[in-house]
Structure 1
Amino acid sequence: MDYAEFYYSQVVGLYPFDTDDCRIQTDKVMQHLVDAGISESDILRFIEESPPKDCLTPDDLPEWLWEESLLKKNTFYYHNTLHLRPPAPTFNPHSREVKASKFYLEMKIKYTMDDLIRYFYHTLRISTDLADKKKDEGSFNYLLNKYSKLDFCEPIDFVLALIDYNKPDNNPMSPVQGILDIAQSQAEVYDALKRKAAEASLHKANQILWR
């Protein structure tokens, strides 16, 4: 479905401009939602609840899109699993042309507790047969609350960095048997992530870049 066309036909009434600039801007917002995995029903709800404007921007995205997500609106995250980036460049062997999209760095919208639990078991190569959803949720909520006072990153960034630090390839002697075990590496992760955040702030590399 052409969501931008749906917005202009159903909410605005018509597209009132001679150029496609506003349509392109609105379409970028819609493509962000599609790439972020937002369901068609929620995209249509967003469109129907939006005011008639020349064009829609990321500021128009409603807070309810982040419900039940561990992420927040207009917040930069460092971990690449929380990023949306353009597809890799493609090469046409016949024309010998390289086609590349303009760079952007957007944040995902939906990243749930289930996503975090799956990431833990997959990354640390622990069988999901050992999962206990209720206990796992409690453990992660404890860690997220514990690291919520950090002033250089979001708690979900710190927890994901803890998981990565304890990858078998990175830390073959890791004693991780359960979720709370990853906190044993908090001192090392604290130093590394704080340096990363400081460097990113210095080079203004901790900003959302919209498509």
Structure 2
Amino acid sequence: MKKRYWIAGACGVVAGAAVTAKLLSRPAEIAWDEHAELLPHARHSRFAVVEGARVHYQEAGEADAPPLVLIHGFCASTHVWREVFLPLAENGFRVIVPDLLGYGFSDKPRAGEYTLHEQARHIVGLLDELGLERATLVGSSYGGAVAATCALDFPARVTRLVLIGAVVNDEPVRQPMARLATAPVVGDLITPFMVDSHA
């Protein structure tokens, strides 16, 4: 019995050392210049400034085609749409795939609340930066909640709404992990696990 505890303890120490090594070997922010080649469709990547935050997005398709915004879920990035991004553009859409605030290559401001309403404002702000009055929004998982919030808060800006595996709630939602990511010290430790755009 004692041998079993000793083995379990040793495994815990090894796992803890591996996690610590990963935390110490990666920066909290991903440097675009150092990692761009790892991102699918990197040549389609762009940056815009929305409410003072740099937002990474990918864009393909004709400028006058119907705009289609694909919004990723929690702990994800533009990477999740890699298989459908170009085929949708080839089928007549102007496809825009942003990294939500706090994810991927977008800024991760410590002062951000990361609520659904804030994320929705940033999506609409990106539409403003791109000169788009309206767009069809497609949201997956948490991105579906963001898309639905856009439709509720800014109905004149949403042409159509497509929700994929979305949980939508009319109560204010705050993501515990996103709030932890903005906390001093703790945020620096967990952010590397939340921003891996090519995992």
* TM-score (norm. length: structure 2): 0.28
Give the number of the structure whose residues are more often strand, by fraction: 2
Give the number of the structure whose residues are more often helix, by fraction: 1
* TM-score (norm. length: structure 1): 0.27
Instruction: Pick the structure with greater CA Rg.
Output: 1
